[in-house]
Amino acid sequence: MIAHIVGYLYLLAAVLFILSLKWMGEVKTSRHGNWAGSLGMLIAVIATMIAYKTQHLDLVLIAIAVGTLIGIPIALKLPMTAVPQRTAMSHAFGSLAVALVGTAEYYQRLPGIDTFTMVVLAAEMLLGYLTFTGSTIAFLKLQEMISGKPLVYKGRNIVSGLVVAVALGAAIGLVINPTNPYFLPVLVAAALLFGFLLVMGIGGADMPTVIAILNSYAGLSAAALGFVLDNQLLIVAGTLDGASGFILAILMCKAMNRSFTNVLFGGFGATTSSQGAAVSGEIRPLTVEEAYLILEAASSVVFVPGYGLAVSQAQQAVRELGDLLRKNGAEVLYGIHPVAGRMPGHMNVLLAEANVSYDELMEADAVNPKMPNIDVCVVIGANDVVNPAAREDPSSPLWGMPIIEVDKSRTVIVLKRSMRPGFAGVENPLFFKQNTRMLFGDAKASIQALIAEFSQE
């Protein structure tokens, strides 16, 4: 009887999870989506605690208390610029949890594991452990605790290939002979090492894709665990998460005109021999006063933010400048490229935090047709996503990538620290265009100086 009640509660939780994602589709209903998800989770946990009376309730409660004590401060205190790090960390936590449960379940069933369960368990542990180290490295890179540059060395793909071969060999060994005590540690070690190597080889600009792929892996390993435990709720929730990461990864790849394998094994910039045609020409720097005069006369302005906006925490200042421009009679929009920043949707969240109305946040497809009629584009800490080489130079590694076509507007003001190329290490001909002006310095300081100019009026 109780088993049936629990089954129906799981069904209810699954329905709530599905509704949660459905409502997440648009801003208006998104908060309902979050509540539906939370409610589904609460029901699932309570149902499980009723159905499987634990011998260790004290430990369960302590573990939940520890999780709550760690989780609440993260959720409340985290600055929005650090959301990509938090996401990477949560993938690490989630996949480690799944991998540990898989390992525990292996030892729990040890003498009599059937072949199917062993296959799924092996796959689950492979994915879980490699996602754990991969996400940890992603976290360290995003938090700048280690260098964000891709680690590239000769024979890198051979080394990675060998590690994969060892991991798969151990997995096959386990399936053939589940009781062998050596296969599991080898599998775990090789999976951990592979995750490490995989993400060490990836540069900052590829992070949005990598985070999405790791998201997908974490979800799929949870779904695999559902098969092992014969728990349909876990299958559904894990699969939904896996599908979400997969779609986001595809969108990110499309936005960079690259393939999955190219992102994972390319080591972009560092290994591509071509950096695109060398560009030369005259750089036209300008002072804050000159920039002010251009903006003051503009009747339409598009801000194009990139990762530099997050680095200099300039989102609030940008919104203030936007408000001043609007008061001055200009139309103000924001052009958001899908891979600007370090995770999918990063720029939208930062600008929303600064109180920018979300209907002013435009995708590349929506803003590009307007470009010829835009007076001024202000590029803030973005580089590759506005690089016209993607359109003009077939030898460029960015060739074919959809960009925000700021160079088609009447005037482009690029806020930039120095003439360093972007994360892809590719030359940017935008900086040498006739209609481009460079405003050197910290983005936030430059914008605040512009705000000061406006206030002097």
Partner 1 sequence: MHGQTTPLYINLLIFMLAVFLGLGLIRRVSKLLHTPLMSLTNAISSVSVVAALIVMAEPKNRMIMIFATIAVALAATNVISGFMITERILRMFRKDQGGDAK
What are the C-alpha distances in Å from 304 to residues 209, 236, 257, 307, 393? 20, 38, 20, 10, 22
User: Distance between CA atoms of 383 and 157, rounded to whole angstroms?
Assistant: 29
State the catalytic residue, choosing from 230, 241, 323, 384: 384
Kindly tell me which of 243 and 277 has the beta carbon lying closer to partner 1: 243
**Shortest Cβ 417–partner 1 spacing (Å):** 25
Question: Residue 195 — φ and ψ, nearest 5°?
Answer: -60, -40
**Shortest Cβ 189–partner 1 spacing (Å):** 16
CA angle, residues 393, 395, 396, in degrees to nearest 5: 70
**Shortest Cβ 405–partner 1 spacing (Å):** 18
270 SS3 class: coil
Question: How many residues would you count in the chain?
Answer: 457
**Shortest Cβ 69–partner 1 spacing (Å):** 9
Kindly tell me which of 89 and 426 has the beta carbon lying closer to partner 1: 89
Q: How many CB atoms lie within 10 A of CB 171?
A: 23
Kindly tell me which of 100 and 166 has the beta carbon lying closer to partner 1: 100
**384 noted as active-site residue:** yes
Convert 205-231 to b/e letters by CB count within 10 Å (16 or more is b): bbbbbbbbbbbbbbbbbbbbbbbbeeb
What are the C-alpha distances in Å from 331 to residues 273, 374, 379, 437? 42, 9, 16, 21
**Shortest Cβ 238–partner 1 spacing (Å):** 6
- Burial label, 173 (beta-carbon count in 10 A; 0-12, 13-18, 19+): middle
Kindly tell me which of 296 and 353 has the beta carbon lying closer to partner 1: 353
CA angle, residues 117, 214, 115, in degrees to nearest 5: 10
What are the C-alpha distances in Å from 220 to residues 4, 204, 225, 409? 27, 25, 9, 44
The alpha carbons of the chain give a radius of gyration, in whole angstroms, of 25
- HSE toward the beta carbon, residue 222, CA cutoff 13 A: 25
Q: How many CB atoms lie within 10 A of CB 45?
A: 13
**Shortest Cβ 289–partner 1 spacing (Å):** 26
**Shortest Cβ 244–partner 1 spacing (Å):** 4
Kindly tell me which of 78 and 419 has the beta carbon lying closer to partner 1: 78
Kindly tell me which of 98 and 301 has the beta carbon lying closer to partner 1: 98
User: Distance between CA atoms of 409 and 163, rounded to whole angstroms?
Assistant: 50
Amino acid identity of residue 355, one-letter, is N
Kindly tell me which of 243 and 286 has the beta carbon lying closer to partner 1: 243
Provide DSSP, 329-388.
T-EEEEEE-TTSSSSTTHHHHHHHHTT--GGGEEEHHHHGGGGGG-SEEEEES--GGG-T
Strand partners, 413: 378, 437
Kindly tell me which of 83 and 377 has the beta carbon lying closer to partner 1: 83
Residues in Cβ contact with 283 at an 8 Å cutoff, skipping those fewer than 6 apart = 419, 431, 432, 438
**Shortest Cβ 320–partner 1 spacing (Å):** 10
If we measure between CA atoms, which residue out of 366, 353, 347, 365 comes closest to residue 304? 347
Residues serving a catalytic function are 384
